[in-house]
Copies of this chain bind each other. A is one copy, B any other.
Amino acid sequence: MSPTRQSSKTNTGMDAATLASLYQEVRQTSERICKTLVTEDYMLQAMPDVSPTRWHLAHVSWFFETFLLKPYLPGYQPLNPQYEYLFNSYYNLVGPQYYRPHRGLLSRPTVAEVYEYRAHVDRSMLALFESVKPEEIEERVSIGLNHEQQHQELILTDIKYNLSINPLRPAFHDGEIPVGDSTPPLRWHSFDGGIVSIGHDDNSFAFDNETPRHETLLHPHRIASRLVTNGEFLEFMEDSGYERPDLWLSAGWGTAQEQEWSAPLYWERLDGAWWSQTLSGMRPVDVYGPVTHVSYFEADAYARWAGKRLPTEDEWEHAAAPEPVEGNFLESGIFHPVPATGDGSHLDQVFGDVWEWTQSAYLAYPGYKTLDGALGEYNGKFMMNQMVLRGGSCVTPVSHIRPTYRNFSQPKDRWQFMGFRLAEDA
């Protein structure tokens, strides 16, 4: 009954060459997803929550420089000492940080110089792999690579937002987005109550916030076999969902009024039909595809309207644990959620497509301990006023996700690929 207190240490016994190969693969992916961008696009920061692409590409390099090269590679010379300040995101124990909402106001280092910075860090990292025993650094390298994967997702979600405010409606790329032809079947899957174990506990990589694995008590409940669709969400809209305060949390209603919400983010009404901005440009809203770019407040209001609720993160993880980590991820190149394909007999869309809002506040697991030093600032200090999302999205790398993975966001946030599935008490 007592939770596992000890945070698991990543050590899979990987050799140096494998580590280097993994490193290069992740680093190259970051650059590959930027290949349709012009220099000007790298500069954009259309709201404080998003960052310019050039900043993302530099910051993830800063991370390796700060947590691996400086402490572990003797004689390492930073390319520019001021980058420590410019590309630190929020690590107070490392030092002060350039003002976040102003990241888009810098033209130097240029995009080319940022790529040079990446190359400099890459050369140094390869030297590091050859000079240090892999077990000494595997944990930190894993954090660095998973960190970069998080920013791969952010590069895509942020550029989507950044391009969206341009009246010319530029597309990020010209990829196709599969559409559905009928409403996917929906079934309810029942789960008993009882004590179950939740959280990560082997020596593979996981973030500290997924630990320790611990026991928790579930109550009997049912979970929907798939995500809520655009078509279903349109019914909520047509039933005055955005005009009825009784369906909303008080803070949600306030936000919706203040920001004048009447549809998910990126939706536009054109000539009597709903369209949505996508990374492939303007597309008609696919009524068979999962609704996305909705806040917790909208997901919660929809659930109340539907007479259901959102699952807790414990319920979600318990249900997801046996499912294969497969789905529509970054690797598909679609960069947009697609309709469910299952017949409802098992849980569909658990991984990929959209992050799923849960009704759980993002708080520490019993016995949670942060990492020592500045890396302890990675997750723990954000455990307030955020809700947990699970399962990854269409712009998450598949190797980045697992059933225990805890994402989190403020309940008002919409610019990530956020959606939801319903649950109910049994």
Q: Which of A46, A382, A385 has the most C-beta atoms of chain B within 10 angstroms of its own C-beta?
A: A385
**Closest CB of chain B to A11's CB: distance in Å?**
25
Q: A178 contacts the other chain (Cβ, under 8 Å)?
A: no
Q: Which of A153-185 contact B (CB under 8 A)?
A: 162-163, 165-168, 170
**Closest CB of chain B to A425's CB: distance in Å?**
6
The stretch that binds B, out of A246-254, A318-326, A392-400, is: A246-254
Contact with B along A216-231 (1 / 0, CB 8 A): 1101100000000000
B82–A219 touching, CB < 8 Å: no
Q: Which of A90, A168, A376, A384 has the most C-beta atoms of chain B within 10 angstroms of its own C-beta?
A: A384
**Closest CB of chain B to A83's CB: distance in Å?**
9
Q: Which of A3, A43, A44, A376 has the most C-beta atoms of chain B within 10 angstroms of its own C-beta?
A: A43
Count class of interface residues, chain A: 35 or more
- Asked whether A85 and B384 contact (CB < 8 A) given A107-B41, A193-B2, A425-B367, the answer is no
Q: Which residues of B have CB within 8 Å of A252?
A: 384
Contact with B along A256-293 (1 / 0, CB 8 A): 00000000000000000000000000000000000000
The listed residue (B44, B102, B168) touching A109 by CB distance below 8 A is B168
Q: A48 contacts the other chain (Cβ, under 8 Å)?
A: no
A217–B195 touching, CB < 8 Å: yes
**Closest CB of chain B to A258's CB: distance in Å?**
13
* Closest 9 pairs (CB-CB, A-B): A361-B361, A40-B107, A92-B245, A217-B217, A250-B381, A385-B385, A1-B193, A39-B39, A41-B107
| Chain A residues at the B interface, C-beta cutoff of 8 Å | 1-3, 5, 38-46, 54, 80, 82, 85-86, 90, 92-93, 98, 102, 104-111, 162-163, 165-168, 170, 193-195, 214-217, 219-220, 245-246, 248-253, 359-361, 363-364, 366-367, 376-377, 381-385, 411, 425
B104–A104 touching, CB < 8 Å: yes
Identical copies of this chain, number = 4
B43–A107 touching, CB < 8 Å: yes
B246–A93 touching, CB < 8 Å: yes
- Asked whether A170 and B108 contact (CB < 8 A) given A2-B193, A217-B215, A245-B92, the answer is yes
Question: What residue of chain B has the Cβ atom nearest to residue A387's Cβ?
Answer: B384
B46–A366 touching, CB < 8 Å: no
Q: How far is the CA of A114 from the CA of B2 in the complex (A)?
A: 57
Q: Which residues of B have CB within 8 Å of A215?
A: 217, 219
A40–B214 touching, CB < 8 Å: no
Question: What residue of chain B has the Cβ atom nearest to residue A381's Cβ?
Answer: B250
